[in-house]
Amino acid sequence: MKFDIITIFPEIFDSYFSESLIKKAEDKGLIEINIHDLRDYSIEKWGDVDGKPYGGGRGMVMKVGPIYRAVKEIKNEKKCKTVLFTPRGEKYNQKKATEYSDLDQIIMICGRYEGVDERVKTQIADQSISIGDYVLIGGEIPAMVVVESVSRLVPGVVGIDNEGFLEERVIGDGMIEYPQYGRPEIFKTDEGEKWETPEVLLSGHHKKIKEWRKEHGEIIN
């Protein structure tokens, strides 16, 4: 699984991708993350990647040319999707993450400034994606969200044995997330309260535990 991120702020990803399970997954060769500086694909002096919008208005628009050249050069797998991040896009969810985990390459275009030339959406991207109903400054955080949510579905990336993990967590198109408790069995607060672990989880009764988790869990898709 190859993640290619096109951005004008490549350094934003340095710390995030050089730590934790994402780094381990990369070291093990389970995933590959490539960060591409959009300015490298500019053919203008100063590496300009934005310009004034036709029709007037405040702010600048990201140009179609550099993005076109970047995607053309980066795309090298058949099972590939090119995604543009925009608050106007289709809502990202667990189902999309599962769909993406079946690809060999995801090219992500991080929009910035006040917008991106519409031809990036209509001619270059396969999908426009929003990670929620709020407006961010750019698509860099959405790109991290996609890398993390897709990577954890790649076998071997999360610490636990993946087959068992999937068997336990996957229900239909979604994944069940249920409440978890660890030691101590009863936590005593300074105010004298006792915060207890539900009896059933201590019972060792697998069928009942499974039922309890289903009842108290939520299917995310």
| Residues making contact with ligand ADE (CB under 6 A) | 85-87, 111, 130-132, 134-136, 139, 142
- CA–CA gap between residue 97 and residue 129 (Å, rounded): 12
- Residue 167 beta carbon to ligand ADE: minimum distance, rounded to whole angstroms: 32
What is the DSSP code (8-state) at residue 183? S
Closer CB to ligand ADE, residue 47 or residue 87? 87
Helix (H, G, I), strand (E, B) or coil at 94: helix
From its phi and psi, is residue 192 left (phi > 0), alpha (psi between -120 and 50) or beta? left
- Residue 84 beta carbon to ligand ADE: minimum distance, rounded to whole angstroms: 8
- Residue 143 beta carbon to ligand ADE: minimum distance, rounded to whole angstroms: 9
123 Cβ contact list (under 8 Å, min separation 6): 64, 68
- Residue 99 beta carbon to ligand ADE: minimum distance, rounded to whole angstroms: 17
Copy the structure tokens of residue 130.
Answer: 């929003």
Which residue carries 């310009």 as its tokens? 51
Closer CB to ligand ADE, residue 103 or residue 136? 136
Closer CB to ligand ADE, residue 94 or residue 197? 94
Task: Dihedral sign for Cα 52, 55, 61, 63, please.
Answer: negative
Closer CB to ligand ADE, residue 25 or residue 62? 62
